[in-house]
Amino acid sequence: MTTTTKAKIGTRAATGTICPESGVWKVEGTPSTTAPIAKGNRMPPYGGKAVVWVLTAYA
């Protein structure tokens, strides 16, 4: 039996790291935005800058 553990809502991931969980991610701070990002993709920059993304909902 295999169990998969999801990253918790509120998980943080910085620009350039590998996305740990598919879902809706929000930029921490202001200005902010949300984006759907799939597990395994690189976390993108926002506004041309490195940012920290926070998982807000599962895909």
pLDDT in tens, 2-54: 667 899 999 999 999 999 999 999 999 999 999 999 999 999 999 999 999 99
Give the model's confidence band at 1: pLDDT under 50 very low, under 70 low, under 90 confident, else very high. low
pLDDT for res 55: 98
Task: Report how many helices (DSSP H) and strands (DSSP E) the chain contains, helices first.
Answer: 0, 4
Measuring CA to CA, which residue among 46, 17, 42, 16 is closest to residue 34? 46
**What's the pTM?**
0.90
pLDDT for res 4: 75
